[in-house]
């Protein structure tokens, strides 16, 4: 996929976008899953395992969508790349790895903080903070509006977390 570049993008725009989506998805989705499950599951080990299973499945799904979308768009416009590994598979793998790595960071409060509610709140705060920094970096790198991008990305992440928490809370009432 071709993107109008305003500045040199490390590792190319496709891989950069894959990393950003992996960071957003890995942090926000994992934290949303854990926040929601914390209303149902009091066993910390089970909560962590269930959250990790959710993030691995989500990471694979997102990577598969990345691969197929880029490939299908190039097929539709008649510009299918010869090197499918470089242009389709590599960005999908990068996104999967970013998802899983950031989930490893997001899980730290659950491993280090004794109080489960405090661990979930800390995990949520770290997630929103990292998304803010990632959004700011993206805006700065593309010479756009770094603060707007930071607020946008962190707000979207916070909404994913709140949706997960709200779903878990609502289902706990049933």
pLDDT the model gives residue 7: 57
Q: Quickly state the pLDDT bin for 116 (edges 50, 70, 90).
A: very high
List the chain domain ranges: 12-173
103-106 — which CB contacts under 8 Å span 24+ positions?
103/26, 103/27, 103/30, 103/51, 103/52, 103/55, 103/59, 105/27, 105/130, 106/26, 106/27, 106/30, 106/31, 106/34
Task: Convert the pLDDT of each residue in 138-172 to its tens digit.
Answer: 888 888 899 999 999 999 999 999 999 999 999 99
Give the residue with greater pLDDT, 68 vs 4: 68
Mean pLDDT (the chain, rounded): 85
pLDDT value of position 3: 47
Q: Is the pLDDT of residue 4 over 60?
A: no
Closest CA to 36 of 135, 105, 120: 120
pLDDT (tens digit, 9 = 90+) per residue, 7-40? 566 667 777 777 777 787 778 888 999 999 999 8
Q: pLDDT > 90: what percent of the chain?
A: 39
Rounded mean pLDDT, 121-138: 93
């Amino acid at each position: 996929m071709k993107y109008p570049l305003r500045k040199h993008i490390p590792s190319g725009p496709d891989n950069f976008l894959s990393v950003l989506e992996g960071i957003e998805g890995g942090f926000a989705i994992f934290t949303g899953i854990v926040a929601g499950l914390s209303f149902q599951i009091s066993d910390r080990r089970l909560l962590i395992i269930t959250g990790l299973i959710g993030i691995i499945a989500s990471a694979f799904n997102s990577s598969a969508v990345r691969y197929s979308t880029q490939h299908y768009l190039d097929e539709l416009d008649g510009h299918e790349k010869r090197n499918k590994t470089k242009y389709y598979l590599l960005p999908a793998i990068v996104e999967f790895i970013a998802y899983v790595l950031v989930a490893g960071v997001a899980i730290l409060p659950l491993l280090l903080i004794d109080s489960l509610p405090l661990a979930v709140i800390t995990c949520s705060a770290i997630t929103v903070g990292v998304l803010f920094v990632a959004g700011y970096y993206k805006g700065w790198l593309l010479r756009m509006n770094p603060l707007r991008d930071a607020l946008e990305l962190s707000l979207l992440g916070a909404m994913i977390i709140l949706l997960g928490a709200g779903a878990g809370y609502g289902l706990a009432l049933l």
